[in-house]
Amino acid sequence: MCGIVGYVGAKQALEVVVSGLRRLEYRGYDSAGVAVVSDSVLVTRKRAGKLVNLESLLGAEPLPESTTGIGHTRWATHGVPNDANAHPHVDCSGRIAVIHNGIIENFAELRAELSAGGHSLDSDTDTEVAAHLLEEAVERAGGSLADAMRAVCARLEGAFTLVAIDSRSPDLVVGARRNSPLVVGVGDGEMFMASDVAAFIEYTRDALELGQDQVIELRADSVLVTDFAGNPVEVRAFRVDWDASAAEKGGYDLFMLKEIAEQPKAVADTLLGRIGPNGELRLDLGLPEEALRDIDKVVITACGTAYHAGMIAKYAIEHWTRIPCEVELASEFRYRDPILGRRTLVIAISQSGETMDTLMAVRYAREQGARVLAICNTNGSTIPRESDAVLYTHAGPEVAVASTKAFTTQVVAVYLVGLYLAQVRGDKFGDEVRAIIRELADMPRKVDIVLDTVEPVRELARQLKDATSVLFIGRHVGFPVALEGALKLKELAYMHAEGFAAGELKHGPIALLEPGTPVVVIVPSPLGRSVIHDKIVSNIQEVRARGALTIVIAEEGDESVEAWADHLIRVPVCPTLLQPLVATIPLQVLACELATAKGHDVDQPRNLAKSVTVE
Ligand code: AGP
């Protein structure tokens, strides 16, 4: 979860690297550091805390001019966030600087070997071993930093993106990746390497997608990519489909507010081009139709918010296709010995495409012979590359750590997959599929309506500022929405929040209720599956009878809840299965506003990072 930037070209490297780190700070902000090569001398600056601390240091102790440099913003795994543990790390001779994202799992034995060999390691990090290994390897490699990197990578176990510079090769930046993100930006007479295209998007939108176990040599006018054995490899070029302004706040105080507001467009963009003129679905999944007709089980795997989208998918896919569908936390999936085979379709949902738990689940599923479909928001990321097929969401860059538009577009994407399966397999009559697709196509408008009516939610959030606990309950697809609302509150307001299947309250959790406990209730449409609706109205009465403060999300016109709602939040009428697309939004706003009222850093909450690239 760290942010990495490398640059070589004609510009002042420091300016490019720090600008890139600003765009990557969402990946981790425990410390930051930079290194440049100037007149064949390596110079580094690093400081604990957010990037602003490093910028203060650079103001006080400026770096010399240089056109080759690297930078890092850290999410600590080994070693507390202090100056000594900040990256870059340097070898004994002060010749080589290296930055790292991931975990070097055999660092302890390597550290012991290096110390025994006379190296002086002065940090508690796993990364520092790479600096000293490079120091030894570059001598053996006759001065070739790339050869040294290949030799060192062959000794490392675990997940790593490494980027290094060498004072004796002032026009070169060398990178390597295994199980951790790295992408190349191709400029005009300049080259970039970074964890995410956001770091160099203001300079170029031309990028190269890198594969597993690869070493990259960047010079101002050349890129050379090999495998760890030194064999040249082909890499895929792509053009980033959003611009630098999309990665900025666009006039909003917070990235999260911007991304909440972008949801109508994000939902519309995710549908764009995927619905044919006659209302049929056109998904280029990259999986043959006969393979889709042969599926006898679907397993959805993801983490966090993406997992909640997967829970919603289960209801939709089973209802539309009658294919058994399991939903598994990626961090549990491969350790429970799941039953997978060539007729299993595993759907891996990930906004970043770099979540290690989900990536490991994808690998395991493919080893077991299952086909894997990735649902992802990040072009060029690892999970889609290692899957059999991918359906991209088109939410645009999501910078705030708390996921919002990624969630709603993930839900849209899994609906599309479920409907497409029904269409291809004939599990649903064509007119039924087309009717649901028409409803889906109207959701951007309904999402917009919700956004226009959330001001009372902001006021309510401020009233809840001092609450110590908030419960969320829902039934059917409202249950994953309840879990998602609770997660938002935990990660942003740092307060206890818990989501429950409403029917479960009476089996224990209702004992949590005290007079005034806020309980958020997601009420399904009274139309269609009204039995669920009536039962949750009973649940509202149960909690109200025990003094709860009831905050009810219900659709326009549903009068049955009015007598029991202390606060009533209205959402547009829509089919039960599609309701999460509108019911989740007030919960996002509630959490964002409550965290703001508490004075928290909403875009970069404590202890979190946007992409969890360690297991
Ligand atoms: C949700 O707000 C969090 N950012 C987190 O739960 C996130 O959804 C999870 O880490 C999965 O990330 P991914 O979608 O990038 O794989």
Res. 528 pLDDT band, cuts 50 70 90: low
Phi, psi of 263 (to 5 degrees): -65, -40
484 within domain boundaries? yes
610 within domain boundaries? no
Q: Contact, 249 vs 261, CB < 8 A?
A: no
Query: Between these two residues, 393 and 277, which has the higher pLDDT value?
Result: 393
Which is nearest to 558 in space by CA: 528, 513, 603, 527?
527
CATH number at residue 147: 3.60.20.10
* Site to substitute for ligand 1 among 1, 300, 305, most atoms within 8 A of C-beta: 305
Q: Contact, 180 vs 159, CB < 8 A?
A: yes
CB of 376 sitting under 6 A from ligand 1: no
1 has a pLDDT exceeding 70: no
pLDDT of residue 245: 75
469 within domain boundaries? yes
**Residue range 399-446, pLDDT digits in tens:** 899 999 999 999 999 999 999 999 999 877 777 888 899 999 999 999
C-alpha 280 – ligand 1 centre gap (Å): 31
Residues 242 and 255 grouped into a single domain: no
Cα 163 from Cα 35, distance rounded (Å): 11
Q: Which of 246, 268, 293 is the last residue of a domain?
A: 246
Name the residue with the closest Cα to ligand 1, atom 10.
Answer: 304
586 has a pLDDT exceeding 80: yes
In sign, the C-alpha dihedral spanning 366, 100, 49, 256 is negative
Name the residue with the closest Cα to ligand 1, atom 9.
Answer: 304
612 within domain boundaries? no
Q: Is-catalytic flag, 592?
A: no
Phi, psi of 307 (to 5 degrees): -65, -40
CB of 301 sitting under 6 A from ligand 1: no
Between β-strands 371-376 and 567-571, what pairing exists: parallel, antiparallel or unpaired? Answer: unpaired
Residues 237 and 304 grouped into a single domain: no
C-alpha 607 – ligand 1 centre gap (Å): 14
Residues 322 and 199 grouped into a single domain: no
**Residue range 329-348, pLDDT digits in tens:** 999 999 999 999 999 999 99
Could you give the number of structural domains in the chain? Answer: 3
Query: Which residues make Cβ contacts (< 8 Å) with residue 582, sequence separation at least 6?
Result: 443, 446, 447, 449, 450, 571, 572, 574
- Which one is catalytic: 314, 428, 490, 610? 610
Res. 529 pLDDT band, cuts 50 70 90: low
CB of 543 sitting under 6 A from ligand 1: no
Residues 464 and 516 grouped into a single domain: yes
382 within domain boundaries? yes
Q: Which of 413, 441, 469 is the last residue of a domain?
A: 441
Residues 426 and 495 grouped into a single domain: no
Q: List C-alpha distances in Å: 212 to 26, 134, 145, 235.
A: 24, 20, 19, 11
Residues 213 and 135 grouped into a single domain: yes
CB of 179 sitting under 6 A from ligand 1: no
Cβ-based neighbour number of residue 172 at 10 Å = 20
Residues 102 and 206 grouped into a single domain: yes
Burial class (CB in 10 A: 0-12, 13-18, 19+), 236: exposed
396 within domain boundaries? yes
614 has a pLDDT exceeding 80: no
C-alpha 304 – ligand 1 centre gap (Å): 5
Residues 241 and 255 grouped into a single domain: no
Cα 357 from Cα 303, distance rounded (Å): 8
pLDDT of residue 426: 86
The whole-number average pLDDT for the span 536-550 is: 95
Q: Which of 441, 465, 485 is the last residue of a domain?
A: 441
pLDDT of residue 411: 98
Cα 484 from Cα 306, distance rounded (Å): 9
Residues 128 and 188 grouped into a single domain: yes
Q: Contact, 393 vs 376, CB < 8 A?
A: yes
The whole-number average pLDDT for the span 108-131 is: 95
Which amino acid, one-letter code, is at 551? I
The whole-number average pLDDT for the span 464-490 is: 97
pLDDT of residue 151: 97
pLDDT of residue 445: 96
Q: Is-catalytic flag, 2?
A: yes
Residues 454 and 435 grouped into a single domain: no
* Site to substitute for ligand 1 among 1, 355, 492, 590, most atoms within 8 A of C-beta: 355
Name the residue with the closest Cα to ligand 1, atom 5.
Answer: 304
C-alpha 437 – ligand 1 centre gap (Å): 27
CB of 402 sitting under 6 A from ligand 1: yes
CATH number at residue 584: 3.40.50.10490
613 within domain boundaries? no
Using the structure block, give the residue that is written with the tokens 């759907």. 347
- Nearest atom in ligand 1 to the alpha carbon of residue 352 is 15
C-alpha 611 – ligand 1 centre gap (Å): 7
314 within domain boundaries? yes
Burial class (CB in 10 A: 0-12, 13-18, 19+), 413: buried
The whole-number average pLDDT for the span 369-385 is: 92
pLDDT of residue 222: 97
**Residue range 22-43, pLDDT digits in tens:** 988 877 778 999 999 999 999 9
Which is nearest to 283 in space by CA: 291, 272, 294?
272
C-alpha 337 – ligand 1 centre gap (Å): 24
Residues 46 and 141 grouped into a single domain: yes
Range of the domain at 532: 448-600
Which is nearest to 371 in space by CA: 307, 308, 290, 428?
290
Phi, psi of 124 (to 5 degrees): -100, 15
Residues 403 and 292 grouped into a single domain: yes
pLDDT of residue 297: 97
Cβ-based neighbour number of residue 119 at 10 Å = 18
pLDDT of residue 137: 97
Phi, psi of 481 (to 5 degrees): -65, -40
Name the residue with the closest Cα to ligand 1, atom 16.
Answer: 350
Characterize 600-611 residue by residue with b for buried, 16 or more Cβ atoms within 10 angstroms of its Cβ, and e for exposed.
bebbbbeebbbb
Predicted TM-score of the model (pTM): 0.78
Which amino acid, one-letter code, is at 168? R
Name the residue with the closest Cα to ligand 1, atom 8.
Answer: 305
Which is nearest to 523 in space by CA: 550, 546, 497?
550
CB of 409 sitting under 6 A from ligand 1: no
pLDDT of residue 105: 86
The whole-number average pLDDT for the span 514-537 is: 90
pLDDT of residue 81: 82
CB of 377 sitting under 6 A from ligand 1: no
Query: Which residues make Cβ contacts (< 8 Å) with residue 8, sequence separation at least 6?
Result: 67, 68, 171, 172, 173, 190, 191, 218, 219, 220
Q: Contact, 492 vs 597, CB < 8 A?
A: no
CB of 592 sitting under 6 A from ligand 1: no
The whole-number average pLDDT for the span 252-269 is: 93
Cα 464 from Cα 114, distance rounded (Å): 54
Cα 488 from Cα 586, distance rounded (Å): 11
